[in-house]
Chains A and B, each alone.
Chain A
């Protein structure tokens, strides 16, 4: 599933999530519910900063919830990819985390398929080159 589709499903399924951003390990935005790309990039950057800031003796965090009176910020990490979301006041944290992890899993499956397709193409290309070199010899 595409990142944009996974995020659209996320916002549709979870009425508590107002907006969300999905980012890769390089800090690039894979998809977001924001109209403006700059805002999506800013939120993705701050989400990574939040994860780094929360890292401590217990290791790197996999998920964070910051609760304020006016709303909550959720960040979930799956390997290199990160999804960040904003909700209203006092959301059901367990449900939000579950929905964010589902979004990461669904979009990750698509990414894996793409990676497999790319590595398969590379393997075929390398094999063709080896065969061609063998024919010339």
Chain B
């Protein structure tokens, strides 16, 4: 009984850990624009923002030109 309980705890912990890791990694890889200014300030435009919608197509054209 105790062995089964321990195995269950290990299995649940592994699944939870894997899910957390997957969430973190997928979050880190999200499309975004980081803009840096001369005064040292920086602003990030995430996917879904107006600025990102304007800048993503330009950057995608650069990527496709560079890799074509």
Interface residues of A (CB under 8 A from B): 18-19, 34, 39, 42-43, 46-47, 49-50, 53-54, 56, 58-71, 73, 84, 86, 89-90, 93
**Considering only CB atoms, which chain B residue lies closest to A64 in the complex?**
B35
Q: Which residues of B contact A70 (CB under 8 A)?
A: 63
- Does B2 reach chain A (CB closer than 8 Å)? no
- Give bound CA distance, A93 to B34, whole Å: 10
Most buried by B among A34, A59, A69, A73: A73
Q: With A58-B39, A58-B41, A66-B55 as known contacts, state yes or no: A84 contacts B62, CB within 8 Å.
A: yes
Give 9 new A-B contacts, CB below 8 A, not counting A46-B61, A93-B34.
Answer: A39-B66, A49-B58, A50-B59, A58-B37, A61-B37, A62-B37, A64-B55, A68-B56, A73-B59
Contact between chains at A59 and B37 (CB < 8 Å): yes
Which listed residue (B30, B35, B65) contacts A54, Cβ 8 A?
B35
The residues of B that contact A50 with a CB separation of less than 8 Å are 55, 58-59, 62
CB distance from A22 to the nearest CB of B (A): 14
Partner of B67, one of A53, A86, A93: A86
Shortest Cβ-Cβ A-B pairs, 7 listed: A66-B59, A86-B66, A73-B59, A63-B36, A65-B34, A54-B35, A46-B62
